[in-house]
Every structure is written in C-alpha cells, then in structure tokens.
Amino acid sequence: MLKDVVRTRSYQNVITQNSFLFKDKIVLDVGAGTGILSLFCAKAGAKHVYAIECSQMADMAKEIVKKNGFSDVITVIKGKVEEIELPVPKVDVIISEWMGYFLLFENMLDTVLYARDKWLVDDGVVLPDKASLHLTAIEDAEYKDDKIEFWNNVYGFDMSCIKKQAMMEPLVDTVDANQIVTNCQLLKTMDISKMSSGDASFTVPFKLVAERNDFIHALVAYFNVSFTKCHKLMGFSTGPRSKSTHWKQTVLYLEDVVTICEGETLSGSMTVAPNKKNPRDIDITLKYSIDGHRCKVSRTQQYKMR
C-alpha cells in the first residue's frame, strides 16, 4: 500500500506542508502499519507520536522507528485500539489511513471514532476530517459479459446460479473515465471530527442525468477524502477521472441493461449499512428506476461486500 503514490504522497504533503498542525503536538496514529505516517509526523516536529498497530507489522514498525533514529519521539504500541492503554490521557491530533474499498469496507472508521471519543482533546484535529461518497453510471458491456454473463454457458454447462451470486458482489476494479454515461453525484459527506458510528449507516437518494445516448450496465461508487484543517484545502479523489489508487472504484452491476437518452434521469436511492453478523462487511441496497423514452425499469437490488 506504500506503493500507492496518491495515498502516501497526499499524507506526506499534508504533514510536511502543514507542520503548524504537528509542531510540539501529541499525535496518535491509528492503524500505523509500517509507521510511515508516524515518521512523517515526527519529522514535522511532533512532540510525541503514539503509533497503534494490532498486526505483526507492529514489530517491524518498532524496528523501523529505531533504525531511523526516532525511538525517543515515536512509541509503537502493539494491540487493538479498543484494548490498549495510552501513556497519556489525551492527544492533540489523530491521524489515520482508515479508508477501505467503497470507503467503509472493513469498518476501520469505527476504530478511529472510538479513539477520537476516548483520547482527543476538545479542540483536537482529526486527519483526514472529511470523507465523501460519490456515484455515477457506466457503460460496461464487455466486462459485464466477461464477469457476469460468463456463467450462463461455462464450457457448455449452465451455471447461472453462480451468476446470481456474482451479481450480488460489488466488484472492486478500475473504471475507464470514457465509460461514464451520466454526471457524478455526491451521495454522502462525513465529518470525521463530529460524526457518530451510526452515521455510517444511511439511505440517500440520487439522480443521475445522462450526458449522452448510451446503455448503463452498472453504477460506480467512489470516495474523496479531504484535510480541511490544512493551510489550504488538501485531499484526494479515488474517482475514475483521477489518478488511480489501490482503492480503484466499486462497480455495482445492474440486472437490467438500461437504455438511456441524453438528458434522461436514472433516479433512486442507496442504503448502506454494516452487516449485522459481520460488521466489517457492508450491505448495500440499490433502488433505481427510469421512465424513459426507450426504457422503463424499476428495480431493487441487494449487494454484499465481504
């Protein structure tokens, strides 16, 4: 993931160019991994950085911190945020790279909110502090045939029952911007410094307007994050028109092929919630309809990210 240049360079630029946020501050790095963000913060003048990491990578992070001469500034704590003790009562800054596929997959946001409520001072800073989910629609005949319709005839056999399951699995893949048929719509904005855990479950309406005559095979979701406490607004987008990241985009195939004319609207709603059994998985319900010149459809589809 360090090789995702958009991701790591964005954090590096935020930290390096805004040392006023870190100078002499106590910083908490939630899910520190190799400790790269903690190292950036230490270099930017943090008084102390607590880097929490629950995987084996914590041992590597300790070695890396030592090797790079930051043992007196960075303390790596191996354990779960919900279970560990911090040596200080409060921190000034929480930094984390918690975003998963479709923003919310694997639900690490909950851990950041837990850390915020437990340790962040009243006027403390969360980085990033804004995240937004966006939706657009694409033409994708070739890949839908390859990934979904494939199951209709597999070496001469009918495996269409697998097709039903494949349809329910959002596909994480890179979408070519030329496939976009409609506008891109902001679905939901989250303020990480204020929101509660329950705000990650929501139903939001959408209206996608066709920018050309085309077919729609799938809706595509992606997210942006921003750091609004910087000297100037900073952040990055994982949308199909931006430089690609390891998050790619999330493709939700539609059961119907929608024939849409320029100016017509595909409207509906998206419901997002963590799965009740496995809160790291996400359930998505999509309702969509079009009452168009060449196509009338109204349907509800369920998806499970797992």
63 counts as binding a copy of itself under rule CB under 8 A = yes
Say how many residues touch a copy of itself, by CB under 8 A.
23
Residue in the block written with tokens 């329910």 = 168
- Closest to a copy of itself by CB, 157 or 231: 157
- Of 4, 6, 19, 60, the one binding a copy of itself (CB under 8 A) is 60
Q: Which of residues 21-50 bind a copy of itself (CB under 8 A)?
A: 34, 36, 39-40
Q: Which of residues 94-153 bind a copy of itself (CB under 8 A)?
A: 150
Q: Judge contact between 272 and 191, C-beta under 8 A.
A: no
Residue 158 CB neighbours (<10 A): 11
Q: Which of residues 4-23 bind a copy of itself (CB under 8 A)?
A: 8, 12
Is 262 part of the annotated catalytic residue set? no
55 counts as binding a copy of itself under rule CB under 8 A = no
Tell me which stretch binds a copy of itself (CB under 8 A): 71-79, 159-167, 232-240, 248-256: 159-167
157 counts as binding a copy of itself under rule CB under 8 A = yes
User: Which position among 53, 63, 83, 106 bears the catalytic label?
Assistant: 106
154 counts as binding a copy of itself under rule CB under 8 A = yes
- Closest to a copy of itself by CB, 3 or 232: 3
User: Which position among 97, 149, 169, 262 bears the catalytic label?
Assistant: 97
Task: Give the whole-angstrom CA distance, residue 92 versus residue 119.
Answer: 9
CB of 78 to a copy of itself, least distance (A): 15
- Of 158, 255, 262, 291, the one binding a copy of itself (CB under 8 A) is 158
- Of 6, 54, 162, 209, the one binding a copy of itself (CB under 8 A) is 162
CB of 41 to a copy of itself, least distance (A): 12
Is 106 part of the annotated catalytic residue set? yes
Question: Hey, which residues are catalytic here?
Answer: 97, 106
Q: Give residues in contact with a copy of itself (CB under 8 A).
A: 2-3, 8, 12, 34, 36, 39-40, 60, 63-64, 67-68, 150, 154-155, 157-162, 165
